[in-house]
Copies of this chain bind each other. A is one copy, B any other.
Amino acid sequence: MSESGKPILYSYFRSSCSWRVRIALALKSIDYETVPINLIKDGGQQFSKEFQALNPMKQLAIIEYLEETRPTPRLLPQDPKKRVLVRMISDLIAGGIQPLQNLSILKQVGQENQLAWAQKAINSGFSALEQILQSTAGKYCVGDEVSMADLCLVPQVANAERYKVDLTPYPTISRINKALLALEAFQVSHPCRQPDTPPELRA
User: With an 8 A cutoff between CB atoms, is A138 at the interface?
Assistant: no
Contacts of A124 in B (CB 8 A): 104
Does residue A59 face the partner (Cβ distance < 8 Å to B)?
yes
* Residues in A107-124 with C-beta less than 8 Å from chain B: 108, 117, 120, 124
Q: Which of A88-131 contact B (CB under 8 A)?
A: 88, 90-92, 94-96, 99-100, 104-105, 108, 117, 120, 124, 128, 131
CB atoms of B88 and A95 under 8 A apart: no
Q: Could you give 28 example pairs across A and B, Cβ below 8 Å?
A: A52-B128, A55-B132, A57-B88, A57-B91, A57-B96, A57-B132, A58-B91, A59-B95, A59-B96, A61-B84, A61-B87, A62-B84, A64-B83, A64-B84, A64-B87, A65-B83, A65-B87, A68-B80, A69-B80, A91-B94, A91-B95, A95-B95, A95-B99, A99-B100, A100-B100, A100-B105, A104-B124, A108-B117
Q: With A64-B84, A65-B84, A96-B99 given, name 14 new contacts (CB 8 A).
A: A55-B131, A55-B132, A57-B88, A57-B132, A60-B87, A60-B91, A61-B87, A61-B91, A64-B83, A64-B87, A69-B80, A94-B95, A95-B99, A99-B100
Question: A residues engaging B (CB < 8 A)?
Answer: 52, 55-62, 64-65, 68-69, 80, 83-84, 87-88, 90-92, 94-96, 99-100, 104-105, 108, 117, 120, 124, 128, 131-132
